[in-house]
Amino acid sequence: MIVLAVDPGRRKCGLAVVSSAGVMERSIVATEQLETAIEQMFGRHSPGALVVGGSTGSKEVIKRLKRVLSLSPRVVDERYTTERARKRYFVDHPPRGIWKLIPLGLQVPPEPYDDYAAVVMAEEFLVAEAGKKTGSIASEDLNAKIRGHFAVAGPDPGPSGQGEEG
């Protein structure tokens, strides 16, 4: 399944097209240009689902999308997506130079990352849908793939250097 996700905002919106194979496209657009951008993404990717984050500006965005699309938007919970989007941004754009020494939790991406919030929402939607259709055990492959995007470091080697078991 291909999902188009929208992280709505008053001035700008994050957009992402995601499938179980990964991110196909992502962008940030001015809210005034949302309909045009969505229609273009629909033309390029033919998504089977449209998800919209359910907080800032979502009611207006949903109303506008319903006017131009035949696919009905599904509202998803977008709590903590900004935090997860920031982590995801640094997976794709790891800090370099002296910034490697500063913990990621203290860093803020140097550019807007609303598109990564849309990516996170789409991936979580795909995991939930895979669990509904095939049972939670069968969705483990997709879930593991998505969790892999957040794997920045390996397991803690522990005091012996042999991992937690050793």
Q: What is the mean pLDDT of residues 25-38?
A: 96
Distance CA 8, CA 23 (A): 19
Tell whether the model's pLDDT for residue 35 goes beyond 60. Answer: yes
Q: What is the pLDDT of residues 93-149, one digit of tens each?
A: 999 999 999 998 899 999 999 999 999 999 999 999 888 765 544 445 555 555 555
- In the chain the domains, ranked by start, together with CATH numbers, are 2-146 (3.30.420.140)
| pLDDT recorded at residue 25 | 97
Tell whether the model's pLDDT for residue 34 goes beyond 70. Answer: yes
Tell whether the model's pLDDT for residue 165 goes beyond 50. Answer: no
Q: Among 62-66, 146-150, 156-160, name the most confident range.
A: 62-66
- Which of the four pLDDT bands, split at 50, 70 and 90, describes residue 161? very low
Q: CA gyration radius for the chain?
A: 18
**Site of tokens 């991110």:** 23
